[in-house]
Amino acid sequence: MSFQIPRGTQDILPEQAAKWQYIEQIARELCRRYNYQEIRTPIFEHTELFLRGVGDTTDIVQKEMYTFEDRGKRSLTLRPEGTAAVVRAFVEKKMFGLANQPVKLFYMGPMFRYERPQAGRFRQFVQFGIEALGSNDPAIDAEVIALAMNLYKEMGLKKLKLIINSLGDKDSRNTHREALVNHFKPRITEFCHDCQNRLEKNPLRILDCKQDHEHELMKSAPAILEFLNDFSKTYFEKLQQYLRQLDIPFEVDANLVRGLDYYNHTAFEIMSNAEGFGAITTLCGGGRYNGLAEELGGPETPGIGFALSIERFIAALKAEEIELEINAGIDCYLAYLGEEAKDYTVGLLQQLRLAGFSAERDYLNRKIKAQFKAADRLNAKYVAVLGDEELKNNKINVKNMATGEQVEIELALFIKQFQALQE
């Protein structure tokens, strides 16, 4: 019997994994500079968290969750996204009481959605995300957007498009909601079953419907921007002012509603407009979610964040033909010639590794020529050759593979001299 990987998942083999690590490392470094600290939450949570947090009229909750009952008959769900869990932890661990506010967090890890797999859409994917909780200053909205943009730019991506929108505060949303209901109600029977359900519960979701997006009422639907009250309008203008100040080009798209229910005020997405990127062009999505902490039993706390998947990040790099400068290869390959030398390299190899070098040796009893070939395949910077003869004379031969230069080193001084060769 043979097994295949589940649909919508992928194995990240070592060569790919090096790319992942590289991106993750740059993301961590950016978080350090922007002062976001890592938080790690469980892979599964109580299902109720996502019903409340993400919203029970969203596609994620209605169609895409991996929900199961555990042996204690609790309903648990593999996390489809990170924000609900981070805010749950923020409330549960009373992080609102910390001295340093706002609380600025980042996370990186697998998320699960039962979606139809296609290019750029997986059932298990890795999100890198940040959340800033406790500030209502539009400057932090700009900071969150800037961090995402700078991460992409730092990796060399150029064909990016940032779109922003404002969903307004509660009051603005309520008046907009009413206008939407009035707009769709007379002809709601022409819409899909989901949209008919959404009409009363959450009419904003209708605008995000994949099935009915060609319907004429969609284009003429009242846009939220026309319903922003003064506070929401000023907030949105201030954000735009800061983005200009940071030299971040953007477009306002009144149709951007996002697929999760917790958003208000700022909503944004970063898309790739590289040729050949494929149908799904959104690289990153985020926005403000004032009220979510309250919804999850905490005090009123403003919050904003984004998430992006590493899978789409890598797809964008590929579409723009960007090769990452990944330092592959090992520092030293230890080749042997003769039985005694072979035994001796076991200890020598350990010395190299303890001194901080990446080092390898043959484990397949290969002839010296084949050992050199193996060293080549491993992209070794140096090959150190120890023969029985050298061992007797307390010497070892070190060859620089780039220049071809060779030096003979006293065996007792090998590690020290090898270190000196690097300078």
Binding site for ligand HAM (CB under 6 A): 81-83, 113, 115, 120-122, 125, 127, 129, 131, 259-260, 282-287, 289, 305-309, 311-312
State the nearest-atom distance from the C-beta of 337 to ligand HAM, in Å: 51
Residue listed under structure tokens 């090959």: 383
Nearer to ligand HAM, 283 or 383 (CB): 283
Residue 296's SS3 state is coil
Nearer to ligand HAM, 222 or 259 (CB): 259
State the nearest-atom distance from the C-beta of 88 to ligand HAM, in Å: 13
For 382, the token pair is: 């140096």
State the nearest-atom distance from the C-beta of 374 to ligand HAM, in Å: 37
Residues 6+ apart with CB under 8 A from 217: 183, 184, 187, 190
State the nearest-atom distance from the C-beta of 90 to ligand HAM, in Å: 12
Q: Which of 130, 164, 171 is nearest to 32 (CA)?
A: 130
Nearer to ligand HAM, 120 or 387 (CB): 120
Answer left, alpha or beta for residue 245, where phi above 0 means left and psi between -120 and 50 means alpha: alpha
State the nearest-atom distance from the C-beta of 37 to ligand HAM, in Å: 16
CA distance 18 to 86: 28
State the nearest-atom distance from the C-beta of 82 to ligand HAM, in Å: 6
Residues 6+ apart with CB under 8 A from 262: 53, 54, 55, 83, 84, 289, 291, 292, 295
Nearer to ligand HAM, 127 or 290 (CB): 127
Burial class (CB in 10 A: 0-12, 13-18, 19+), 420: exposed
Helix (H) or strand (E) holding 215: none
Question: Are 324 and 317 within 8 A, CB to CB?
Answer: yes
State the nearest-atom distance from the C-beta of 310 to ligand HAM, in Å: 8
Question: Are 81 and 127 within 8 A, CB to CB?
Answer: yes
State the nearest-atom distance from the C-beta of 289 to ligand HAM, in Å: 6
Question: Are 348 and 397 within 8 A, CB to CB?
Answer: no
Nearer to ligand HAM, 57 or 127 (CB): 127
Question: Are 369 and 385 within 8 A, CB to CB?
Answer: no
Q: Cα 277 to chain center, whole Å?
A: 18
Q: Cα 423 to chain center, whole Å?
A: 36
Nearer to ligand HAM, 160 or 380 (CB): 160
Nearer to ligand HAM, 127 or 232 (CB): 127
Q: Cα 109 to chain center, whole Å?
A: 7
CA distance 208 to 211: 9
Nearer to ligand HAM, 136 or 397 (CB): 136
Residue nearest to ligand HAM (CB): 305
Tally of CA atoms within 13 A in the half-sphere of 215 that contains its CB: 20
State the nearest-atom distance from the C-beta of 215 to ligand HAM, in Å: 23
Nearer to ligand HAM, 138 or 286 (CB): 286
Helix (H) or strand (E) holding 328: none
3-state secondary structure 93-122: CCHHHCCCCCEEEEEEEEEECCCCCECCEC
For 15, the token pair is: 């060569």
Nearer to ligand HAM, 92 or 190 (CB): 92
State the nearest-atom distance from the C-beta of 8 to ligand HAM, in Å: 8
Q: Which of 163, 203, 166 is nearest to 182 (CA)?
A: 203
Nearer to ligand HAM, 134 or 387 (CB): 134
State the nearest-atom distance from the C-beta of 143 to ligand HAM, in Å: 13
